[in-house]
Structure 1
Amino acid sequence: MEVAELRAIAARGETYTVEFKRGRRQKDLSDSDIVEAAMCLANGDGGLLCLGIEDSGTITGLAHRHGDHTDPDRIAALLLNLTDPPIAAHAELLIVDGVDVVVVEVPKATAPVGTKNGLYKRRSLRLDGKPECVPYRPQEMLSAGFSMAGRDYAEVVLPDATLEDLDPAEFDRFRRGARSQRGDAALIDAGNREILRALRLLNGDSGVTIGAVLLFGTADALTRFIPTAECLFQEFNGRELTANESLRLPLLRTADELYERLRVRNSEYEVMLGLHRVGVPRIPDSTAREAIANALTHRDYTENGPIRVQLSVDDLTVTSPGGFPPGVSLDNLIVESRPRSPLIADAFKRSGLVDRAGRGVPEMYLSLLRAGRGGPDYSRSNDRSVTVSIPTGGADLDMVRFIINYEDEHQSHLTLDQLRVLHEIKAMGPSSAIDLSEGLRLLPAITRATLSRLTEMGLLEDRGVGRNRRFHLSAAFYRVAEDRNAYVRVRGIDPLQQEQMVMSYLDTYGRITRSEVAKLCLMSSQEARGLLTRLRDERKIDMLGVKRGAYYVRSDANQ
């Protein structure tokens, strides 16, 4: 590694794969500290352990550890000898501004790693995004072991379970689902054993697996063998909890029960298209199905705690224990599908509960965007749980009207990327390709291609050149959406003017709300949210209060 590269790493600060350790004095850093830090990184994604850098990123150097010098090979040997299984790391000594810094390249572990003293820790991210090392619990190591070995936990045989622990009524439920258009018609008339064999959930003639009990088990069998299989349904009216139900049922029945609870609470907006009325559901059916199916099939059943399905006026939130499956992250969850249990996911597909295995998240995005709402929000997910928040408040009926009119007129469907870009620009106002790429987590090449295509289609226009080039919705978009005045507003006030109007308002009145921004700048509530988010990111304003009580003031740095 070059010194310039190390300086850049120090300037960026600690991340999930980079850990700093101070060591100006011998007593600052013990051998145990080094071993534990390397073990923690190995139990994450591996990474760099930098000895001689403060948590702040300041390079202060490492005191000599081996007499009058520091031997990086002896540090690598230390890790090899004091971890189990051994960590084969590479250590390198660099001289930076006259002081020593040792950079240890720690590989990602292929099995849970501990110290020879029996200590196990893993890498984690706090709610504020800062990395930390936390205890590596036995159930987490069990789950990680299955993933690392490429084994599906659903195929593990339960030694004490028998076919008597499976409920015949649940097999009938599966057959009813298989009769649907989405189901597997080949299993409609299959016997119970044949269904288990087809789903690969029976080992031999009587080896009942975890997956079999999860899908078809009796209440007693679930309690005895998989006590973590629980789901909570909660409904809130403001702060008041109006429904609070615990479901300890096999997965297919749990899914049906949750779908029904959401169905009876669903409602529709109406959009007029000429003389026709088109219903826009509060929660699209496919969105509800995919959100619940994903939680039930992807959760980590070695983790304690129930799945939580919470419905409020503003959103539907589904939280399932266990982080994203290996290989899935916020950056790729739209295009990457790696179910924690392929067998459970396949059973849901063949029972007709979902349309296509591996299309859950894209289908959720499509159905929500077509209903005039933003995409599902996974930003509250971490390595302990996956949380998706689905907006259920007021729909953008202009967007709904546009999508229906445009696709009917052109007899073709807009793609997911095109819908995401259109929604983002309508919500955030004129945006650059870089802004859209970062905000939507799209590859720059895909973003540029999508913008180019939408411009060719006449749905976007651009202003400026180079880095100042911004895209906004075109007159054609608002004509199809039947809101021509909006085009004049977007075209007439640029982002700089909008910012100046908000800051001037704050100078005069001291505070401003999102609805006041919308009225002031003649924009929608979503566009006002986008403007306020940008000003907060630029640290020009601060938000005080929460939810409906939130308001904005000038940042202390800009007083």
Structure 2
Amino acid sequence: MSTVIPPRETLTVEFKSDHKRLSDTDLIEAIVCLANAEGGDLWLGVEDDGTPTGLHPEHFSLDGLAGLVAARTSPSLTVAVEAIEIKGIRVARIRVPKSPQETATRSGVYLRRRLKHDGTPECVPMLPHDRISRASTFGLLDVSARPVAGATLADLDPLERERLRQNVETFGGDKVLLELEDADLDGVLGLTHRQGDGTRTPTLTGLLLIGRESALRQLVPTHELAFQVMAQEAVRLNEFRRFPLLKALDWLETNFRPYNPEEEVRIGMFRVPVPKVDMDAFREAVANALIHRDYHRLGAVHVRLEDDALVVSNPGGLVEGVTLANILTTEPRPRNPALADALKRIGIVERSGRGVDTIYRGMLRFGRALPDYSRTDAHSVILRMPTGAADLDFLKLIVDEENRLNSRMPVDSLIALSALRQMKRLTIEELAGQIQRDAASAKRTLEALIERGMVEGHGTTRGRSYTLSASLYRNAGDKVAYTRQAAFSALQNEQMVLNYTRQHGGIKRAEVANLCHLSEDQASRLLNKLHKDGKLEKHGQKRWTFYTVLGQ
């Protein structure tokens, strides 16, 4: 297969002309620039517009190029070099890995690649705060645990420390914290750092949680929280605050509640509140944004209520190892571990670190759409939580089952039921993609729902599909929908059998079972029905029985 040069330069594609021989210094700097971003391919011997002009004669032999790169980078980079012929012109593709730590040239030059406002890439110096930010993204440095230069104990607010203690009581945090003296409390939660001379200095976590607002403005200027309410693109409310986090969360919740109407529905013996946005999911989403934001980037954490969704965003993309494809299942990897641990012990966020489960549960339990992270990019995490009307029949189903089990339904089960409600029919592979697990896990989830009487399986082995059970449709007052689904499966099997028989001249019971993923008995019943309906003609007896299309 021929190799094609990419059409243009991107964040991960760099073209370098070698017509006049690219200097070793320029080559190494370009490679370092790629390594400190997302890695990628450097095409040597290609002009900026993508035209191949070839390698300089001194670069015809590429044998020593990988060694040159390793010798002139710190830490040493391992690149793969490949000579490629493009329309008879020899160029080189240098594959540059994404470096897990910031990389410099041997002369001490740090560079990183970024996109300009017009989408074209450029190499820029990697400043100290860029290096710290990158290290925290890779989990190599906990910025929130470091003492803040210029901060003193006078920058901590006793009133905010009292608010912290009240939060422990309110949210069921670690009660041991309530027994500690102030200095011990600060030490246990990582709010202060003991220096070599025995003095204590506030950490970033300390300032963020119980710092005075004046100190935050001066010492943590990137910290800001915005609450916006939109109405058909018009701004009804647009407030920015630099409060310490616990005060900010109280302020935000107080201001959000008037825009979050709640009705109550009776389910059995219980009255169940149905809010526009589940408050547990709301708190978790906002707290996650504050925990995972990059405090070396300018920009506020935005909480924006739109006409059809609540949108929560924070500066700084997903941390290394977390992607949109594993956000549900990967181990918790906070960008600011000390801050995350403190908020867990206070009780503000999930002690398990699985806050995303709380967000999913708060959406799916009310029959609303899945949380949407699709707008997330390298610079910010954006969570969109649809606020459409709740499906009260679905809520009743979930509440009844949770009351029966005396426990909350697993998130995977909620996703499966929600998907079946939307798609009507689901395969194991389709669910595996939605719950971000393997097929075996998806099968266990669906089969467990069958045991509970909430789901029905159709067919056997490979190709088995699933629908909501007849009892669920009946309880929801939608028996027609179930009948339609069951009829669809039967009609689909009949059509497949008839088509197969026409194409191959005949069909046997074992072939029907394999074709339609049915048991032997189910295959026999299907053939008998088609024979009785005058669509198939039966030939032979017992094990030699086969069927043809009538009149064929």
Q: Where do residues 37-186 of structure 1 align in structure 2 (5 Å cutoff)?
A: 38-46=31-39, 49=42, 63-67=54-58, 70-80=60-70, 83=73, 86-93=76-83, 100=90, 102-114=92-104, 118=109, 120-122=111-113, 135=124, 138=127, 139-148=129-138, 150-180=140-170, 182-186=172-176
Aligned-residue sequence identity (percent) comes to: 35
1:402 offset after TM fit, Å? Answer: 1.5
Q: Are residue 279 (structure 1) and residue 269 (structure 2) matched?
A: no
The answer on whether the counterparts of 1:44 and 1:122 sit within 8 Å (CA) in structure 2 is yes
Say if 1:416 and 1:131 are closer, same or farther in 2 by CA, change over 3 A: farther
TM-score (norm 2): 0.76
Give, in whole Å, the separation in 2 of the partners of 1:81 and 1:448: 51
Q: Secondary structure at the match of 2:449?
A: helix
Q: Which of 247, 255, 261 matches 1:253?
A: 247
Q: Are residue 372 (structure 1) and residue 372 (structure 2) matched?
A: no
Q: Which of 431, 438, 442 matches 1:436?
A: 431
1:360 offset after TM fit, Å? Answer: 0.8
What letter matches 2:401 in structure 1?
Y
What letter matches 2:392 in structure 1?
L
Aligned to 1:219: 213
The answer on whether the counterparts of 2:285 and 2:359 sit within 8 Å (CA) in structure 1 is yes
TM-score (norm 1): 0.75
Aligned to 2:401: 406
Give, in whole Å, the separation in 1 of the partners of 2:333 and 2:342: 15
Say if 1:463 and 1:184 are closer, same or farther in 2 by CA, change over 3 A: closer
Q: Secondary structure at the match of 1:389?
A: strand
Please identify, of 292-301 and 349-358, the stretch whose mean Cα deviation from structure 2 is larger: 349-358
> Over residues 482-513 of structure 1, what are the superposed CA-to-partner deviations in whole Å (9 max), with x where a residue is unaligned?
4323323444568x99xxxxxxxxxxxxxxxx
Structure showing greater radius of gyration is 2
1:340 offset after TM fit, Å? Answer: 1.1
1:292 offset after TM fit, Å? Answer: 1.1
Please identify, of 437-446 and 131-140, the stretch whose mean Cα deviation from structure 2 is larger: 131-140
Please identify, of 479-488 and 158-167, the stretch whose mean Cα deviation from structure 2 is larger: 479-488
Question: Unpaired segments of 5 or more residues in structure 2?
Answer: 493-552
Give, in whole Å, the separation in 2 of the partners of 1:61 and 1:466: 53
> Over residues 96-138 of structure 1, what are the superposed CA-to-partner deviations in whole Å (9 max), with x where a residue is unaligned?
89775644342332432356694622367999xx996664653
Give, in whole Å, the separation in 2 of the partners of 1:125 and 1:366: 39
Q: Are residue 345 (structure 1) and residue 345 (structure 2) matched?
A: no
The answer on whether the counterparts of 1:94 and 1:101 sit within 8 Å (CA) in structure 2 is yes
Q: Which of 382, 388, 393 matches 1:387?
A: 382
Q: Secondary structure at the match of 1:44?
A: coil
Question: Unpaired segments of 5 or more residues in structure 1?
Answer: 498-559
Say if 1:131 and 1:112 are closer, same or farther in 2 by CA, change over 3 A: farther
Give, in whole Å, the separation in 2 of the partners of 1:131 and 1:359: 37
What letter matches 2:35 in structure 1?
A
The answer on whether the counterparts of 2:226 and 2:301 sit within 8 Å (CA) in structure 1 is yes
Q: Secondary structure at the match of 1:203?
A: strand
Give, in whole Å, the separation in 2 of the partners of 1:214 and 1:80: 41
Aligned to 1:449: 444
The answer on whether the counterparts of 1:266 and 1:283 sit within 8 Å (CA) in structure 2 is yes
Say if 1:485 and 1:369 are closer, same or farther in 2 by CA, change over 3 A: same
1:318 offset after TM fit, Å? Answer: 0.7
1:405 offset after TM fit, Å? Answer: 2.5
The answer on whether the counterparts of 1:320 and 1:386 sit within 8 Å (CA) in structure 2 is yes
The answer on whether the counterparts of 2:39 and 2:98 sit within 8 Å (CA) in structure 1 is yes
Say if 1:348 and 1:274 are closer, same or farther in 2 by CA, change over 3 A: closer
1:266 offset after TM fit, Å? Answer: 1.9
Q: Secondary structure at the match of 1:169?
A: helix
Q: Where do residues 300-311 of structure 1 align in structure 2 (5 Å cutoff)?
A: 300-311=294-305
The answer on whether the counterparts of 1:44 and 1:124 sit within 8 Å (CA) in structure 2 is no
1:222 offset after TM fit, Å? Answer: 0.6
What letter matches 2:249 in structure 1?
A
Please identify, of 420-429 and 134-143, the stretch whose mean Cα deviation from structure 2 is larger: 134-143
Give, in whole Å, the separation in 1 of the partners of 2:166 and 2:243: 18
The alignment covers a number of residue pairs equal to 484
Q: Where do residues 452-471 of structure 1 align in structure 2 (5 Å cutoff)?
A: 452-462=447-457, 470-471=465-466
What letter matches 2:377 in structure 1?
N
What letter matches 1:203 in structure 2?
H
Give, in whole Å, the separation in 1 of the partners of 2:319 and 2:157: 29
The answer on whether the counterparts of 1:182 and 1:355 sit within 8 Å (CA) in structure 2 is no
Give, in whole Å, the separation in 2 of the partners of 1:458 and 1:177: 41
> Over residues 407-426 of structure 1, what are the superposed CA-to-partner deviations in whole Å (9 max), with x where a residue is unaligned?
33455543211111221232
The answer on whether the counterparts of 2:265 and 2:272 sit within 8 Å (CA) in structure 1 is yes
1:248 offset after TM fit, Å? Answer: 0.8
Q: Over aligned residues, Cα RMSD in angstroms?
A: 3.9
What letter matches 1:423 in structure 2?
S
Say if 1:306 and 1:438 are closer, same or farther in 2 by CA, change over 3 A: same
Aligned to 1:518: none
